[in-house]
Amino acid sequence: MRQTEKLKKIHAKALTGFDAVQSASYDMRKLCLTARRFVSIPGAQWEGALQQQFENKPKFEVNKVWGSVQRIFSEYRNNRVTVDFLPSDGSPDDKLADVCDGLFRADVEASGGQQAFDNAFEEGVSGGIGAWRLCAEYEDDEDEENDKQRIRFHPIYDADSSVYFDLDAKKQDKSDARECWVITSMSPDAYAAEWGEDPASFDKTISGVQWDWYSPDVVYIAEYYVMEHEKDEVVTFVGLDGQERKVLASELEEDEESDEISLAQELASTGFTETKRKPIKRKRCHKYILSGSRILEDCGIIAGNCIPIIPFYAKRWFIDNVERCAGHVQNAMDAQRLLNMQLSKLAEIAATSNASKPIFDPSQIASEGNVLAEMWRNDPIKNYPYLMAKALRQEDQTIVQTGPVAYTQPPQVPPALAALTQFTAETMSEILGNQQAGEELMANTSGKAVELVQDKLDMQVFIYTDNFRIAMKRCGEVWLGMARAIYVEE
């Protein structure tokens, strides 16, 4: 009963904390999701009020943002970032660091971790936020005798609407986070099969499906990570031979109900004497799985001493004590929308007939059997050598008008529209970078000049790769903490 009441309090605390985090970052995360849809989904560049304004009108997309984003993806994949472990004392050669490098690469390769890194980078550059997770899993689930575990890397999709850290986490790598929520979707059938008939979905209000033909029916659950800090002491014992042994004070506590010899008794009987104590703080990560109504599973303390969720921010800053981020797309969205509007308007003008049409008084082409009207109507097809029409006459039969009364004027491109189209194209080049300058090699251009152009384009990518290095460094720290727990056996 006590455990049930405790879990209810944890569930209520998790919902309250999540509501505070999502409320503070809702607008920013909604913009991140809009940016990813904007660059990836056909038709999404017309979402919102713009779609209503151009109702029943041509809506063309010339997605210039996509090419710039793809160049950043290609540049990253051509120069991938990985983890390199170094000795803490700065020595040039350390076998343990080399072993860690090899184990890390083996875990990445075995679990397809590179896909998790690529997904996080692409979501971050497109929208602003990407993420992946580390998990300790059994090496072989089907082998009853194999108890070995390995660290696996898994992607987190839609990180801008599914990964949240507590508001007090200020560092970019979230190493100072105390709480973390990861929202995951399941089909109602899969939820019922695993958790029973209680499809109380966890709240996830950040979404956008205006241009999607089909939106699946899903139930959301949340992984809830909580950092627990415990105070302890390291007790140093010295044996009869002068050998030191360090143990935790919590390990020395005797279990009154146990008949086994305690560690303190064992040390005392073997001649060890206590020499000093040092207070320390122990960090542990507790994991829960939540639905909207209850805690589905208490997963207990997980391997490592960190929250195993690695965030990646393409660009990040704090304004008015609110964390904000952006990718490569946000600044170019308005210019891209403006370009689409202009090209759609030009297409609408071009689709309108450019030939002047005569305007007649009805009496001018009225005849028996309406021969004159048929003649004018079929002229574009039959191309008659001449056309006939009656003259307009007054009551005394005086001729007033022998030809058409007037002519329609073909549509003209407004000068302002033409100038604005050119200005918009130049603005997009300034925002996204002049891609053509880096891809075209002009004749009689020195190699030094070409290198300067390429370096200028590479600087636009540098901020993303540099921030990704921060995420990979945090990934190495989390992996090392988990490796100490599952790879090192006492």
| pLDDT one-digit tens code per residue, 422-466 | 777 777 777 776 555 445 545 555 555 545 545 555 667 889 999
Backbone dihedral region for residue 276 (phi beyond 0: left; psi -120 to 50: alpha; all else: beta): beta
Main-chain phi, psi angles of 202, to 5 degrees: -70, 145
Q: Nearest-CA neighbor of 164 among 8, 309, 339?
A: 309
Which of 351 and 111 is assigned the larger pLDDT? 111
| Mean pLDDT calculated for residue range 203-222 | 64
| Per-residue pLDDT band at 226 (split at 50, 70, 90) | very high
Amino acid at residue number 274 = E
The answer to whether residue 174 scores a pLDDT higher than 80 is yes
**Averaged confidence pLDDT in the chain:** 83
Place of tokens 């009551």: 395
Runs of H (alpha helix) within 81-155: 95-111, 113-126
Please tell me which of 59-63, 206-210, 222-226, 271-275 the model is most confident about, judged by mean pLDDT: 222-226
Residues belonging to the chain: 490
Query: pTM for this one?
Result: 0.78
Q: Residue 251: pLDDT above 80?
A: no
| Residues 233-255 as b or e (16 or more Cβ within 10 Å = b) | eebbbeeeeeeeeebebeebeee
Please tell me which residue, 46 or 53, carries the higher pLDDT value: 46
Phi, psi of 212 (to 5 degrees): -90, 135
Q: Residue 353 pLDDT more than 70? A: no
The answer to whether residues 126 and 169 touch, using CB atoms and an 8 Å cutoff, is: no
What's the pLDDT at 461? 81
pLDDT at 483 over 60: yes
What digits encode the pLDDT tens for the residues 385-431? Answer: 888 888 888 888 888 888 887 877 777 777 777 777 777 777 777 77
More confident site: 162 or 392? 162
Q: Which residues pair with 20 in a beta bridge?
A: none
Q: What is the pLDDT of residue 454?
A: 52
**What local confidence, expressed as pLDDT, does residue 256 receive?**
46
Instruction: Calculate helix-pair angle for 64-78, 333-351, nearest 10 degrees.
Output: 140
Q: Per residue in 73-94, pLDDT tens?
A: 988 998 888 999 988 777 777 8
